Structure 1
Amino acid sequence: MEMTLPVYHIHVSAKEYQRLTSNIWSETFVNGTMQMDGKQLPIRIRYRGGHTRAYEKKSFEIRTASRTFHFNAEYDDPSLLRNALSFQFFESIGVPAPDTRHCVLYLNDQLAGVYVRIEGVKSSFFRQRRMPVRSIFYAVNDNANFALSTGSSHSENSQLSGYSLIRGNTEDRRRLHRFIQQLNMKSKMDLFRFLQSRVDIDNYLRWLSGAVLTGNFDGFHQNYTWYEKVKSGKYGILPWDYEGTWGRNCYGAKVNPNLVRIQGYNKLTGRLLAFRTFREQYKKLMKQHLERAFTEKRIMPLVYRLHDEIREDVGNDPYMKWPMNVFLNEPEKIRTYVKERREYVGTALKQL
């Protein structure tokens, strides 16, 4: 069956294009238009990403009047589907995740290639899901590990250097700062009660199981969204940037399927799993996922559907990094990862 991807045309004037390309590391948006869903929309556009900004196929953040989208180039991922696959997997285990859609992108009438359009995790993300939130933080570097900062300075700026405030104010920054301090300083039952009162435990453990099963080594100290709920005052978490998963790292290199330990990483995870109650809750969730969601039977039909949808357009992508035979073999690479990862996790659960 022939698959047709949506096509988006972005136009940026010569002056704005020069502003965009003159400094690829700039966070400044430039103006343009985008043809999307049959409409011509005014947009603001900038490059996004870290080291990937230096690639010839770049990723973009695009803002319309009401929405934010990330158009990811997926340059290092030979399947071009690991982000989309990961986010749909998270949804299947009860963790909110961005909507995704593969597409073909043109910039000033030049074919830019196959991209994955990812819903931005902004206020509209939570509003559409009827999840009232007080604050939203992005974990942007390895300092977002919930540990006290090294050295003598535990100042707010030092402690929160791994977080970017997306929604909220200075009081919300102070609240997160106090949360991290108390997380590290409390012990025994005081810590247990604190965690119950300030963290959505079920959400966190589901997110943890998703990060562990997909094998995102970078997903524990960064590459997540941290938000505070209005009604309960508890913090929740959801994933973003899952290109380095399912048996490959963020540069596309193959990795050992047992690279990410079952306990995950970061200070909050360690403090939670130190309590038998939370550890047993996590083990129960993991066993459920191994029985239902994280199986070849459930995952591979989605892999093949996504792969089939983009195959023809990937062959025409002028910036495709990988040989076509590598792309064509990726579904079986993912199948092998799932099989081997299941074996490792099943064994490790008995020792947790």
Structure 2
Amino acid sequence: MDIPIRRIEVRPADLRRLEAHADQVVFVDGVLHRNGRAEPVRFGYRGNRTRQAPKKSFEIRRRGGTLHLNAEYDDPTMLRNALSFWFFRQIGVPSPWTQHCRLIMNEQDLGVYLEIEGVDATFFRRRRLGCRSLFYAVNHDADFSLVTGARAILKASLFDGYERVIGSREDQKRFERFIFDLNTLRDEGLRRHVAERIDTPLYLRWLAGAVCTGNADGLTQNYAVYESTHDGRYRFVPWDYEGTWGRNCFGQLCPMDTVGAFGENVLTTKVLGLPDARRAYRQLIRHLASTVFTEEYLVSVVRDWMRRIGPAVLADDTRRHAADGWAREFTVIYEYIRERRQFLLKAMDEDEGRSGMG
């Protein structure tokens, strides 16, 4: 099956400007041809480490919402992000829609890309979710702690690690206060704080998604947190899940247990320190391990996806990975799911045993 084509037209001088400032946030004018329509856009390179890769990723700002065209340069399958976001939707967590496509810029075929829906105001409007404020977690300081680095130096600002996308300075201060109280309240005060400020059931599903897929960065960066207009609680949306399903963000094979069964970051520690939440998390993991996080459920999805995008990916000579390793990636993902599922079930049993003794 052919994959859709996206075309971008840009002045050569503007393209040279982007290339000359690849390590900076620069946007230029262009025209995007998509789904039979042409529209004016602003676009530029996106990412951090990927800005230096031979095949760049792009951010496209348009009236209909932000799009990201990810090169997925370090993922041999080019499907780990897409599979992860699909998995999150299966477990009830809002996540970006994706579409594999071919990108042609000024008549030059740049190969296969993954188009990813941006998490912005349009994202929430489409889902009829009220969003009062939105923050991106952009580096590892977004761990909800008061300190930074190996020497545990007090952060200059409790907003370190975040970028404000929607909302006011007051919204940001309220989020900083949430982090401060999270670290300083104890016992009943902490329990009340978590209940009032976090949508705990949704947080547990988001946590379970990061834990099941094995995203080592997913809990300390690469997520979006928004404040609901409905009840003022914070909710979480996954972002950048290329380093998953048995490979890290550099595309290297990694141990199945790289991410602990109970995740990491201060908020997770505080939430799972509450007996009712911890019990609910164990029940959730066991439920997922008997339904959607199983070899039987996921293997057919992975196989179908690889069959659909395989011809285009294997014909793409802009990729980092050799075509002869494509089929082996099915085994990598399959073995990861099988081993990870067993690991998580064992961890839940052991934790329940310790809780019972306590």
Which TM-score tier does this pair reach, normalised by the shorter chain? over 0.9
Q: SS where residue 236 of structure 2 aligns?
A: strand
- The alignment yields a C-alpha RMSD, in angstroms, of 1.1
| Counterpart among 28, 31, 35 of residue 30 in structure 1 | 28
Q: SS where residue 141 of structure 1 aligns?
A: coil
Give the aligned partner of residue 280 of structure 1: 279
Deviation readout 1:183-222 (Å, 9 max, x if unpaired): 0000001100110000000110000001001000111110
Deviation readout 1:156-196 (Å, 9 max, x if unpaired): xx211100001011001101110000000000011001100
Q: SS where residue 111 of structure 1 aligns?
A: strand
Equivalence map 1:51-62=2 (5 Å): 51-62=49-60
Amino acid at match of 1:147: S
2:10 is the alignment partner of 1:12: yes
Give the aligned partner of residue 21 of structure 1: 19
Shift, 1:316, TM fit? 2.2
Q: Taking structure 1 as reference, are residues 152 and 209 closer, same or farther at Cα in structure 2, changes over 3 Å only?
A: closer
Deviation readout 1:302-321 (Å, 9 max, x if unpaired): 11121111111112212111
Give the aligned partner of residue 351 of structure 1: 350
Give the aligned partner of residue 120 of structure 1: 118
Give the aligned partner of residue 308 of structure 1: 307
For 2:327 and 2:101, locate their aligned partners in 1 and report how far apart those are by CA, in whole Å: 18
Shift, 1:322, TM fit? 0.8
In the superposition, the TM-score normalised over structure 1's length comes to 0.97
Equivalence map 1:108-187=2 (5 Å): 108-150=106-148, 153=154, 158-187=157-186
For 1:53 and 1:316, locate their aligned partners in 2 and report how far apart those are by CA, in whole Å: 24
Equivalence map 1:1-352=2 (5 Å): 3-150=1-148, 153=154, 158-352=157-351
Amino acid at match of 2:84: S
Asked if the contact 2:146/2:154 (under 8 Å) is kept, the reply is no
More divergent stretch after superposition (110-119 vs 11-20): 11-20
Provide the identity percentage.
43
Q: SS where residue 7 of structure 2 aligns?
A: strand
Deviation readout 1:222-254 (Å, 9 max, x if unpaired): 000000001200000010100000000000100
Task: Count residues with an aligned counterpart.
Answer: 348
Deviation readout 1:19-55 (Å, 9 max, x if unpaired): 2111001212100111100011111110001111111
For 1:166 and 1:199, locate their aligned partners in 2 and report how far apart those are by CA, in whole Å: 19
Q: SS where residue 316 of structure 2 aligns?
A: coil
Deviation readout 1:35-85 (Å, 9 max, x if unpaired): 100011111110001111111111000112221101000000001000000
For 2:65 and 2:276, locate their aligned partners in 1 and report how far apart those are by CA, in whole Å: 40
Gaps of 5+ in 1: none
Give the aligned partner of residue 355 of structure 2: none
Amino acid at match of 1:330: E
For 1:302 and 1:45, locate their aligned partners in 2 and report how far apart those are by CA, in whole Å: 32
Asked if the contact 2:65/2:121 (under 8 Å) is kept, the reply is no
Amino acid at match of 2:68: H
Q: SS where residue 63 of structure 2 aligns?
A: coil
Q: SS where residue 350 of structure 2 aligns?
A: coil
For 1:152 and 1:264, locate their aligned partners in 2 and report how far apart those are by CA, in whole Å: 23
Asked if the contact 1:112/1:318 (under 8 Å) is kept, the reply is no
Which aligned runs of 4 or more in structure 1 are off by greater than 3 angstroms? Answer: 150-155
For 1:196 and 1:211, locate their aligned partners in 2 and report how far apart those are by CA, in whole Å: 22
For 1:25 and 1:171, locate their aligned partners in 2 and report how far apart those are by CA, in whole Å: 31
For 2:9 and 2:294, locate their aligned partners in 1 and report how far apart those are by CA, in whole Å: 43
Asked if the contact 1:111/1:318 (under 8 Å) is kept, the reply is no
Q: Taking structure 1 as reference, are residues 33 and 299 closer, same or farther at Cα in structure 2, changes over 3 Å only?
A: same
Shift, 1:153, TM fit? 5.0
Gaps of 5+ in 2: 352-358
